Structure 1
Amino acid sequence: MKQKDLNPVLLLAFHLMVSIYSFFTFIPYYIFTWVLYGSEPDHAIRKKHNPVPGKLVRLLYPGLDTLPKVFEYVAMRFPHRECLGTRELISEEDELQSNGKKFSKVVLGKYHWLSYKEALSAASQFGYGLAALGQKPKHNIAIFCETRAEWMLAALGCFMQNFTLATFYSTLGGPAIAQGLNETEVTHIITSTKLLETRLKPILVKVPKLHCIIIVDNTPTSWPDYPSGISIHNMADVQRLGARPENAICEQIQPITSDIAVIMYTSGSTGDPKGAMISHSNIIAAIIGLAERIPNLSEKDTYIGYLPLAHVLELSAELVCLAHGCRIGYSSPLTLADQSAKIMKGTKGDVTILQPTLMAAVPEIMDRLYKNVMAKVEEMNSVQQTLFTLAYKYKLDQLNKGYSTPLCDKLVFSKIRALLGGRVRVLFSGGAPLSADTQRFMNVCFCCPVGQGYGLTETCGAGTISQVWDYSTGRVGSPLVCCEIKLKDWVEGGYLNIDKPYPRGEILIGGPNVTMGYYKNRGDQSDFFVDESGQRWFCTGDIGEFHEDGCLKIIDRKKDLVKLQIGEYVPLGKVEATLKNCPLVDNICAYAKSDKTYVIAFVVPNQKHLQALADQYGVSGTLEELCKDQVMEELVLKVITEAAVAAQLVSFEIPRKIHLSPDPWTSDKGLVTDAFKLKRRELEMHYRNEIARMYDGE
Structure 2
Amino acid sequence: MKLKEDLNPVLLLLFQVTVWLYSVLAFLPSYLFSSVSESDAGLGSEQERAQRLKARSVTGHPAGPYRAMGATKRLVSSLHPGVDTLDKVFEDASRRFPDRDCLGTREVVMEEDERQSNGKFFKKVILGQYRWLSYAETHRAAACFGIGLAALGQRAHNNIAIFCETRAEWVIAAQACFMQNFPLVTLYSTLGGPAITHGLNETEVSHIITSRELLETRLKFILLEVPRLQHIIVVDDTPTEWPGYPRGISVHNMANVQGLRTKPENVCQGHKQPMPSDIAVIMYTSGSTGVPKGVMISHSNIIAGITGMAERIPNLGENDTYIGYLPLAHVLELSAELVCVAHGCRIGYSSPQTLADQSTKIKKGSKGDTSVLQPTLMAAVPEIMDRIYKNVMTKVEEMSSAQRTLFTLAYNYKLEQLSQGRSTPLCDKYASQLQYTHTLHIHTISITHTKPDTRLRHSSTRKCKHELTDLLPLPSPPSSLVFKKVRSLLGGKTRVLLSGGAPLSAATQRFINVCFCCPVGQGYGLTETCGAGTISEMWDYSTGRVGGPLICSEIKLKDWVEGGYHITDTPTPRGEILIGGPNVTMGYYKNEAKNQDFFVDENGQRWFCTGDIGEVHPDGCLKIIDRKKDLVKLQAGEYVSLGKVEAMLKNCPLIDNICAYANSDEMYVIGFVVPNQKHLLLLAEQYLIRGSWEELCDNAAMEEVVLQVITEAALSAQLERFEIPRKIRLSPDPWTPESGLVTEAFKLKRQQLKSKYQDDIERMYGGK
Q: Taking structure 1 as the reference length, what is the TM-score of the superposition? A: 0.98
2:372 matches 1:353? yes
2:20 matches 1:16? yes
Quote the residue 2:710 is aligned against. Answer: 640
**Partners in 2 of 1:39 and 1:459 — Cα distance?**
30
| Alignment match of 2:8 (pick from 4, 7, 11) | 4
Q: What are the Cα deviations for residues 573-593 of structure 1, in whole angstroms up to 9, with x where unaligned?
A: 111111110010001000001
Q: What are the Cα deviations for residues 605-652 of structure 1, in whole angstroms up to 9, with x where unaligned?
A: 000011111111122221111111111111111111111110111111
Q: What are the Cα deviations for residues 142-164 of structure 1, in whole angstroms up to 9, with x where unaligned?
A: 00000000000000000000000
- Residue 107 of structure 1 deviates from its aligned partner by 1.0
**Partners in 2 of 1:143 and 1:571 — Cα distance?**
37
| Alignment match of 2:276 (pick from 239, 257, 266) | 257
- Residue 11 of structure 1 deviates from its aligned partner by 3.4
Residue 276 to residue 9, structure 1, CA distance change in 2 (3 Å): same
**Partners in 2 of 1:636 and 1:594 — Cα distance?**
25
Residue 318 to residue 34, structure 1, CA distance change in 2 (3 Å): closer
Residue 23 to residue 127, structure 1, CA distance change in 2 (3 Å): closer
| Alignment match of 1:143 (pick from 154, 162, 177) | 162
SS at match of 1:136: coil
**Partners in 2 of 1:334 and 1:207 — Cα distance?**
31
Equivalent pairs: percent with the same residue?
A: 69
Mapping for residues 235-250 of structure 1, pairs under 5 Å: 235-249=254-268
SS at match of 2:12: helix
**Partners in 1 of 2:677 and 2:34 — Cα distance?**
48
Question: Which deviates further from its counterpart, 140-149 or 99-108?
Answer: 99-108
- Residue 600 of structure 1 deviates from its aligned partner by 0.4
SS at match of 2:610: strand
Mapping for residues 198-597 of structure 1, pairs under 5 Å: 198-249=217-268, 251-409=270-428, 410=431, 411-412=480-481, 413-521=483-591, 524-597=594-667
- Residue 37 of structure 1 deviates from its aligned partner by 5.6
**Partners in 2 of 1:40 and 1:685 — Cα distance?**
51
Whether contact under 8 Å (1:129, 1:243) holds in the other structure is: no
Q: What are the Cα deviations for residues 212-241 of structure 1, in whole angstroms up to 9, with x where unaligned?
A: 000000011111111120001000111111
- Residue 404 of structure 1 deviates from its aligned partner by 1.2
**Partners in 2 of 1:314 and 1:538 — Cα distance?**
21
Q: What are the Cα deviations for residues 362-412 of structure 1, in whole angstroms up to 9, with x where unaligned?
A: 011111111110001111111111000011111111111111123333113
Quote the residue 2:32 is aligned against. Answer: 28
| Alignment match of 2:740 (pick from 670, 676, 693) | 670
Question: Which deviates further from its counterpart, 3-12 or 504-513?
Answer: 3-12
Quote the residue 1:50 is aligned against. Answer: 54
- Residue 73 of structure 1 deviates from its aligned partner by 0.7
SS at match of 2:713: helix
- Residue 45 of structure 1 deviates from its aligned partner by 6.8
Whether contact under 8 Å (2:298, 2:586) holds in the other structure is: yes
2:725 matches 1:655? yes
Bigger relative contact order (CA 8 A; separation at least 6): 2
Quote the residue 2:171 is aligned against. Answer: 152
Q: Which amino acid in structure 2 is aligned with residue 81 of structure 1?
A: R
Q: What are the Cα deviations for residues 281-305 of structure 1, in whole angstroms up to 9, with x where unaligned?
A: 0000001000011000001100000
Mapping for residues 592-631 of structure 1, pairs under 5 Å: 592-631=662-701
Whether contact under 8 Å (2:49, 2:540) holds in the other structure is: no
SS at match of 1:524: helix
- Residue 34 of structure 1 deviates from its aligned partner by 6.5
Moved over 6 A (4+): none
**Partners in 1 of 2:31 and 2:131 — Cα distance?**
47
Whether contact under 8 Å (2:301, 2:530) holds in the other structure is: yes
Whether contact under 8 Å (1:125, 1:248) holds in the other structure is: no
Q: Which amino acid in structure 1 is aligned with residue 338 of structure 2?
A: L
Residue 381 to residue 237, structure 1, CA distance change in 2 (3 Å): same
- Residue 191 of structure 1 deviates from its aligned partner by 0.3
Residue 27 to residue 606, structure 1, CA distance change in 2 (3 Å): closer
Q: What are the Cα deviations for residues 137-194 of structure 1, in whole angstroms up to 9, with x where unaligned?
A: 0100000000000000000000000000000000111111111100000000000111
Unaligned stretches of 5+ residues in structure 2: 56-66, 432-479
SS at match of 2:218: helix
Question: Which deviates further from its counterpart, 396-405 or 591-600?
Answer: 396-405
Mapping for residues 111-122 of structure 1, pairs under 5 Å: 111-122=130-141
Whether contact under 8 Å (2:46, 2:419) holds in the other structure is: no
**Partners in 2 of 1:330 and 1:41 — Cα distance?**
38
State the superposition RMSD in angstroms. 1.7
| Alignment match of 1:162 (pick from 158, 172, 181) | 181
**Partners in 2 of 1:575 and 1:95 — Cα distance?**
40
SS at match of 2:659: strand
Residue 45 to residue 215, structure 1, CA distance change in 2 (3 Å): closer
Whether contact under 8 Å (1:142, 1:189) holds in the other structure is: yes
SS at match of 1:127: helix
Unaligned stretches of 5+ residues in structure 1: none
- Residue 270 of structure 1 deviates from its aligned partner by 1.7
SS at match of 2:590: helix
**Partners in 2 of 1:422 and 1:77 — Cα distance?**
29
- Residue 251 of structure 1 deviates from its aligned partner by 3.3
Whether contact under 8 Å (1:128, 1:249) holds in the other structure is: no
Q: Which amino acid in structure 1 is aligned with residue 403 of structure 2?
A: Q
**Partners in 1 of 2:631 and 2:651 — Cα distance?**
21
- Residue 666 of structure 1 deviates from its aligned partner by 1.2
Whether contact under 8 Å (2:552, 2:583) holds in the other structure is: yes
**Partners in 2 of 1:613 and 1:488 — Cα distance?**
46
Question: Which deviates further from its counterpart, 44-53 or 358-367?
Answer: 44-53
Q: Which amino acid in structure 2 is aligned with residue 300 of structure 1?
A: N
Whether contact under 8 Å (1:83, 1:119) holds in the other structure is: yes
**Partners in 2 of 1:217 and 1:86 — Cα distance?**
13
Q: Which amino acid in structure 2 is aligned with residue 333 of structure 1?
A: P
Would you say how many aligned residue pairs link Structure 1 and Structure 2? 698
Q: What are the Cα deviations for residues 45-89 of structure 1, in whole angstroms up to 9, with x where unaligned?
A: 797122432200011111110001111011010000000000101
Quote the residue 1:104 is aligned against. Answer: 123
- Residue 35 of structure 1 deviates from its aligned partner by 5.1
SS at match of 1:520: coil
Q: Which amino acid in structure 2 is aligned with residue 187 of structure 1?
A: S
**Partners in 1 of 2:270 and 2:154 — Cα distance?**
16
Whether contact under 8 Å (1:290, 1:465) holds in the other structure is: yes
Question: Which deviates further from its counterpart, 282-291 or 245-254?
Answer: 245-254
**Partners in 2 of 1:270 and 1:42 — Cα distance?**
39
Whether contact under 8 Å (2:587, 2:598) holds in the other structure is: yes
Q: Which amino acid in structure 1 is aligned with residue 327 of structure 2?
A: P
Q: What are the Cα deviations for residues 414-468 of structure 1, in whole angstroms up to 9, with x where unaligned?
A: 1100000000000010001111111111111111101000000000000000011
Q: What are the Cα deviations for residues 445-495 of structure 1, in whole angstroms up to 9, with x where unaligned?
A: 111101000000000000000011111111000000000000001111110
